[in-house]
Amino acid sequence: MDRSSGVQILGRSKAAARSIPYRAGYPSLATAEHRAQAALIAGEYHDALSGLPGLDYLPGSLRCLITQARRSHQAVALIALNIDEYRPVCEAFGRTEGNRLIKRVASILRTAAGPEAIAVFAGGTSFVVALSGLASTVAASAPAQRILAAIAQPYDVAGQELQMMACAGISSFPNDGDDYETLLRNCTAAMHEAMAEGPGAIRTHSGNVALDAKRRLRLRADLSRAIANNGLALHYQPQFDLCDGRVSGVEALARWFPSNGRAIEPRVFIPLAEQMGTIGALGAWVLQEACKGAATWQAADDSPPILCVNVSTRQIDKSMCAVIRHAIERAQFPPQRLELEITEGSLQGNLDRALACLAEWKALGVRIALDDFGTGFSSMSHLSRLPVDRLKLDKSLVYGLATNRRNAAIVRSIIALGKELDIGVIAEGVETEEQLQLLEDFGCTQVQGYLLARPVPLAAVQGLLSSRWGMRRSHARALDADTQRLEAL
Ligand code: C2E
Ligand code: MG
Ligand code: MG
């Protein structure tokens, strides 16, 4: 069947749609002819377990929603949802109860997402909801919150009260893409970020929290002042080499602690600076400050760590080369110890122009890393053309390592790919011993994450440089053993 028939049907007026009994997840239809079409669609896309259409239903429907949104200058959002209770419920109460859980979420989506939403079951423990007619991207966060709140309502499994939690990632047209593939990839990446944050989290694709207009305006003014008046700070997170346990690198991370309130996350202020056109000034300050700080680090074995600095997509332009040269010359910092982190996404627009910039940076002697690797534009053919020294495995992949077989397979393949191409691979977001062990088993020996060390202010970095992870770990284990021994007495 031609999927565009689904597209046509979705285009019917709301008045017509209301006159027909609504079948959850599918568009309502006006005439007998349309009902017949709907039955066909239902037959082809219907997922028996959830009672919703399957993911295949989405491309055609989304195309239609985007066409309508272009005409009406509105936004369309995709919300990817992941439920984290399926496996424990199956293990504790059996598969039937697990399946009941999927049905329950499907039924919640039918009501909580609103009558105009299209909800589909994406397999496993994932669902995707398409919302149309939104005034802006921000408008998608309220329904997402409503859905998560409904899912979190306590419910009964075999006479026991349980609470189910979910995470959501949002991408939207026109901000994050204008086709199914891009929007799905982006909301899925955002969902992985939300999962890394913990149950109940919502992330938008750009990673920034959906800010309301008033807060955005106030923040813009405050951020401009902070950039102009040296009001930002840097924290540094060590990276460890598991072969010898030493700190092999340190990533500089921008911090903003406004005097009149709570700390603001980089996920909020970096995209804001990009939109305001001040990311160039912010990035230049970060680079200079980080080179100045790192120039003082001394390592016991005379091989001080490399310094990693994040570079925004907007900084990949002609002027950046001079900014890098100025920073390293001023701090007398060896360029081979500077690694600039760009994201896969930043190469998506004009690859040839980006390649020309990267070649200039490389000519200065600096290293280049691909940050958040594995979530975006990972293409083998591009990888072979890129002058990259390291791939940074995204933390969303590391997060699911122990529990998700597909994640583990992707991580293993990326590590093997790095070896084949002679490109280093570092895993970020390592939070548990289990993840660390698996990474080691897969042959990844460079790691960064809260398990090993959190970002710290400059003053604390030198102290960390003399510690080795193996020693820290055995020290931690010895303390554990001592505690257990004392408890047993
Ligand atoms: P990133 O470059 O991928 O940096 C890693 C982020 O993961 C940091 O978040 C770090 O604090 C966090 N992280 C490290 N270990 C763990 C872990 O074990 N678990 C979890 N859940 N998180 C971990 P942070 O500092 O909030 O920065 C977020 C992002 O903001 C960075 O992601 C980077 O994309 C951007 N950013 C930060 N500083 C700068 C900067 O100076 N310039 C630019 N352009 N972007 C920056
Ligand atoms: Mg980074
Ligand atoms: Mg990263």
- Nearest-CA neighbor of 391 among 356, 367, 409? 367
Probe target for ligand 1 pocket from 310, 371, 401, with the most ligand atoms within 8 Å of CB: 310
Q: Looking at the CA of 449, name the nearest ligand.
A: 1
Look-up of token digits 């040269």:
325
CA 90/CA 113 separation, integer angstroms: 26
Tokens of 441: 């088993």
CA 158/CA 151 separation, integer angstroms: 18
- Nearest-CA neighbor of 402 among 371, 430, 426, 422? 430
CA 280/CA 316 separation, integer angstroms: 10
Instruction: Output 399-402 pairs: Cβ under 8 A, ≥24 positions apart.
Output: 399/192, 399/195, 399/196, 399/429, 399/431, 399/435, 400/192, 400/195, 401/434, 401/435, 401/438, 401/439, 402/432, 402/434, 402/435, 402/438
Please name the residue whose Cα sits nearest to atom 27 of ligand 1.
266
Q: Is 210 exposed, middle or buried (0-12, 13-18, 19+ CB in 10 A)?
A: buried
Q: Which residues pair with 76 in a beta bridge?
A: 173
CB 144 within 8 A of CB 79: yes
- What was the pLDDT predicted at 280? 94
CA 25/CA 105 separation, integer angstroms: 12
Probe target for ligand 1 pocket from 390, 394, 428, 433, with the most ligand atoms within 8 Å of CB: 428
Please state, in angstroms and as integers, the Cα–Cα distance from residue 397 to each residue in 22, 419, 422, 429, following that order. Answer: 38, 18, 21, 9
CA 284/CA 295 separation, integer angstroms: 17
Ligand 3 center from residue 214 Cα (angstroms): 29
CB 309 within 8 A of CB 287: yes
Please state, in angstroms and as integers, the Cα–Cα distance from residue 454 to each residue in 186, 291, 308, following that order. Answer: 27, 20, 15
- What was the pLDDT predicted at 86? 75
CA 421/CA 91 separation, integer angstroms: 41
Beta pairing class for 456-457 and 202-204: unpaired
Report all structural domains of the chain as residue ranges with CATH numbers, in order of start.
1-44 (no CATH), 51-208 (3.30.70.270), 222-480 (3.20.20.450)
Q: DSSP strand E in 415-475: where?
A: 424-427, 446-447, 456-457
CA 171/CA 173 separation, integer angstroms: 7
Q: Coil, strand or helix: which one is 85?
A: coil
Ligand 2 center from residue 374 Cα (angstroms): 14
**Number of the ligand 1 atom closest to the C-alpha atom of 341:** 2
Instruction: Report CA dihedral (426, 429, 431, 434) to the nearest 10 degrees.
Output: -50
Please name the residue whose Cα sits nearest to atom 23 of ligand 1.
429
pLDDT per residue as tens, the chain (489 positions): 322 222 222 222 233 332 222 333 444 434 455 444 555 555 667 888 888 988 888 898 899 999 988 888 788 999 999 987 777 787 788 888 888 889 999 999 988 877 788 999 998 889 999 999 887 766 788 888 889 888 888 888 877 777 788 889 999 888 888 889 889 988 988 888 777 767 788 888 865 444 555 566 788 889 999 998 889 999 999 999 999 899 999 999 999 998 877 788 887 788 889 878 899 999 999 999 999 999 999 877 778 999 999 999 889 998 999 999 999 999 999 999 999 999 877 776 678 889 999 999 999 999 999 998 886 555 666 788 889 999 999 887 887 788 778 788 889 999 999 999 999 999 999 989 999 999 999 999 999 999 999 999 999 999 888 877 766 565 555 555 555 555 455
3-state DSSP: the chain helix, strand, coil percent, rounded to 5? 50, 20, 30
**Number of the ligand 1 atom closest to the C-alpha atom of 253:** 38
**Number of the ligand 1 atom closest to the C-alpha atom of 428:** 15
CA 219/CA 213 separation, integer angstroms: 10
Tokens of 446: 């460079």
Residues with CB under 6 A from ligand 1: 196, 237, 253-254, 265-267, 270, 283, 286, 310-312, 341, 371-372, 395, 428-431, 448-450, 455
